[in-house]
Structures are given as structure tokens and as C-alpha cells.
Amino acid sequence: MAVSRTLAILGATGSVGTSTLDLVALHPERFDVTALTAATQVDALADAAIRTGAKLAVIDDETLLPRLRERLAGSNCRAATGRAALSEAATSADLVMAAIVGCAGLEPVMAALAAGRTVALANKESLVTAGAIMTDAATRCGATILPVDSEHNAIFQCLVGNRSQDVAKLVLTASGGPFRQKSLAEMRAMTPEQAVAHPNWSMGAKISVDSATMMNKGLELIEAHHLFALPPERIDILIHPQSVIHSMVEYVDGSVLAQLGSPDMRIPIAHALAWPERMATPAARLDLASIATLTFEQPDSERFPALRLARSALEEGGAAPTVLNAANEIAVAAFLARRIGFGDIAALVERALGAVGAPPPRSVADVLDIDREARDTVRQLMISLAA
């Protein structure tokens, strides 16, 4: 029987967060939940905190703290808000599920790494924006980063038992998103509802739009570079619409190892939560005979310029990935709020990359400064777009 581990869930009310909670409920003997966090979904946060017996619940929106206190009255769970409380949550357990969306997750992830924790990392934007600052902190502090993103989790599994110098390249698979077969002209007219309707995966709104623009795969390219220490030219992207092969590793002898499974985030989440063991999930078993056909295509960076922008930001290095990520976050939020069109997202990111000339970040504070500048730049660009 597995020994129980302490677990904190950052972003507990989101898509990854609730899948994590579902798995914890299936394996209560494995986890002792210490802390949960959310941005605004105060009732869902309080319910989950009571259900799991967490000792700390952190809400980002401070106006909701009285409501959280009221909901937790009589329980053993303390309600809190603010950066210090978020860091406290992030360091309260041996295992931290980092499932906040966006750069907002960076500081708590860094706090967990500084405390030498094991971080199950879903929050790819933190690694994209802070890159080597984050991986250096993990190495220095003896922390472990376990990839939860399905592609990176697949690669992590395909690397087990092999030497890193024997890896020839990584192949990140991509479903191609809901607009895989749309023309550029058709894509320009797409609404937020159409963009978030992913063919294979059920996810939060931001990553769903990122999948539609394919910026998600661009962010994942940068994520893979930092997690697996390979140069960009040795990380390929391959369209695979069925999302059955979650990614592959090619070795110097020509062998290719792949990880397969049904497209259900509970599989990579469970892998990270149970690592180095495994635990059962209710995910549908892979039935290859009924799927019958797996297909592959080259990605099209004409129709999906985000792929080209992310690759060049990674090659340029310095502040570029931070600018790319911040500009994308603002542009996606504006698209979801119907303030800009679908095609404007990549266009704004490209213009921000050209406009922000910051020096390479050396600390989290530098990253957050560049992040702010890029966000302001995109907001200004949107004002001129609207004029």
C-alpha cells in the first residue's frame, strides 16, 4: 500500500485542478491535502477544502475573502488571500500541483521550488516566461519538476531508462485544434465559442484558445526545451489529429518510443501524482482497433503563425519568450472578451515581440517587469487597433 503524501493544489477550481481533486477522491489513502487555491470561484474552493480536509484555502480575489471565511466557518481550514498566503500554500506540501493558468502561477511555483518541493507542473506559462531561472532554481534547491502537460509527460515516460546523450530528437504531437482544416480567411471570423470547442480535449478557456491558434504548441516547444535541455532544432512538431500518441522520443539508433493513451488529462495527472509509482484512473482504455487509423501531417505555420513566433522567440532567447507569453495572455483575454478578432491574437504577439526591447531577465523580478511591459504594450496596440 502506498504511503500517504502531502499535496497542495494551486488552481484547484480549474480544469486540471478539478481532475486532480477527482483523482485524490479516488485514492484518499495516497494523499493528505494541505492547501487549495483559486482566483474567484470561492464556493467551489470552499467545498473542495471541506471535502479534502485541507488546512489552508487561498482566494486570489481579496474581496471574496469574507465569503470564503463564512463558508469555512466551523471547519479546520483557514481562509487567506494575497501573495504570502499563495506562497505558504505552495510550500505546505511535499507535492505541489501547479495548475494556475498563466504567469500568475510563477511566484508560487518558484516558492515551491525554492523549498525543494516536487512540483507537478501543468502551468506551462511559468516555465515559458522564466525558463532557465526556474530550472536553475530547481537544480540549486534540489526540487523536482514533473511534467503534467500530456506531451511532456509522454516524453518524460519515454526517456525512462535511457541516457540523455542517446536522444536524437523529441517529437511533440499536436491535434491541430478546432481550426486545423480552416483557411486563414475562415479563421479570422471565428468566435470564442468556436475557438474553445476543442475536438479531443476538455480544458480551460485560455489553453483552448491557445490550441486553436496553436500557440499552445509553441509554448510547449519552449516548455520542452527547458524541461529536457534540447536545442529548438531537435524538437519537432507533428500534427496528429486523433491525439492518441501524446509525443515521441527518437534515439540515435533510429528507435522511436511513444506514449499512447486516450486523450484524458487524468492519465498524465495521475502519472505525476503517483510517480515513481502508478495509480489507477477511470480514463477510457485505449481501443486501437476501434480507432483503426492514426494520421499525421506537417504543421502549417502560414495558417498558424503562432508556431513560427514561438520558435523564433525560443531561438532569440533573452526576453523574447517572456514577451511572447505575456502578449499572448493579454491578446487571448481580449479575444475571449470579444474585443479583438481571432487573427489579431498572433498579430499582436508579433508586434509586441518587435516593440519590447528588454534585456534578458536574470531574476523573477526581471521576468515580472518584462511581463508588465509586454502587457502594457499590447494594451496600447489594442487601443490603436480599435481607433
Q: Which residues bind ligand NDP (CB under 6 A)?
A: 11-17, 38-41, 60, 99-101, 104, 122-125, 149, 201, 203-207, 265
Partner whose footprint covers residue 361, from Mg ion, ligand NDP, none (CB < 5 to 8 Å by kind)? none
Min. distance of Cβ 376 from ligand NDP in angstroms? Answer: 17
Min. distance of Cβ 82 from Mg ion in angstroms? Answer: 31
Min. distance of Cβ 205 from ligand NDP in angstroms? Answer: 6
In the complex with ligand NDP, which residue's Cβ is closer, 125 or 344? 125
Partner whose footprint covers residue 251, from ligand NDP, Mg ion, none (CB < 5 to 8 Å by kind)? none
- Map residues 151-180 to x or -, x wherever contact with Mg ion holds by CB under 5 A: x-----------------------------
* Residues in 228-257 at the binding interface with Mg ion, rule: CB under 5 A: none
Min. distance of Cβ 39 from ligand NDP in angstroms? Answer: 3
End-to-end CA distance of the chain: 64
How long, in residues, is the chain?
387
Min. distance of Cβ 173 from Mg ion in angstroms? Answer: 9
In the complex, residue closest to ligand NDP by CB: 14
CA neighbor of 150 nearest in space, from 293, 250, 261, 276: 261
Alpha carbons 48 and 340: distance in angstroms, whole number: 35
Stretch of 73-81, 147-155, 233-241, 341-349 lying at the interface with Mg ion (CB under 5 A): 147-155
> Is there binding between residue 223 and Mg ion (CB under 5 A)?
no
Alpha carbons 192 and 189: distance in angstroms, whole number: 10
Alpha carbons 242 and 369: distance in angstroms, whole number: 40
In the complex with Mg ion, which residue's Cβ is closer, 19 or 52? 19
In the complex with ligand NDP, which residue's Cβ is closer, 39 or 168? 39
Partner whose footprint covers residue 104, from ligand NDP, Mg ion, none (CB < 5 to 8 Å by kind)? ligand NDP
In the complex, residue closest to Mg ion by CB: 149
Q: Which residues pair with 58 in a beta bridge?
A: 37, 80
In the complex with Mg ion, which residue's Cβ is closer, 88 or 149? 149
> Is there binding between residue 149 and Mg ion (CB under 5 A)?
yes
Alpha carbons 263 and 259: distance in angstroms, whole number: 12
Partner whose footprint covers residue 173, from Mg ion, ligand NDP, none (CB < 5 to 8 Å by kind)? none
In the complex with ligand NDP, which residue's Cβ is closer, 104 or 133? 104
Quick one: cell of 193?
Answer: 465559442
Phi first, then psi: what are they for 135, rounded to 5°?
-70, -35
Sheet strand arrangement including 167-174: 235-239, 167-174, 245-251, 256-260
Contact predicate 71/43, CB 8 Å: yes
> Is there binding between residue 107 and Mg ion (CB under 5 A)?
no
In the complex with ligand NDP, which residue's Cβ is closer, 59 or 257? 59
Contact predicate 370/341, CB 8 Å: no
**Grid coordinates 483503426 are at which residue?**
292
In the complex with ligand NDP, which residue's Cβ is closer, 69 or 360? 69
Min. distance of Cβ 157 from Mg ion in angstroms? Answer: 14
Min. distance of Cβ 342 from ligand NDP in angstroms? Answer: 19
Phi first, then psi: what are they for 318, rounded to 5°?
60, -130
In the complex with Mg ion, which residue's Cβ is closer, 201 or 275? 201
CA neighbor of 385 nearest in space, from 354, 353, 351, 336: 351
Min. distance of Cβ 356 from ligand NDP in angstroms? Answer: 21
Q: Specify the pairing of strand 256-260 against strand 5-10.
A: unpaired
Question: What b/e string do you get for 209-237 counting C-beta neighbours within 10 Å, with b at 16 or more?
Answer: bbbbbbbbbbbbbbbbbbbbebebeebbb
In the complex with ligand NDP, which residue's Cβ is closer, 189 or 284? 284
Quick one: cell of 128?
Answer: 515559458
Min. distance of Cβ 147 from Mg ion in angstroms? Answer: 9
In the complex with ligand NDP, which residue's Cβ is closer, 16 or 235? 16
Alpha carbons 101 and 209: distance in angstroms, whole number: 13
Across the chain, where does the E strand assignment appear? 5-10, 31-38, 56-59, 78-80, 95-98, 118-121, 144-147, 167-174, 235-239, 245-251, 256-260
Preceding peptide of 299 cis, ω within 30°: no
Min. distance of Cβ 187 from ligand NDP in angstroms? Answer: 21
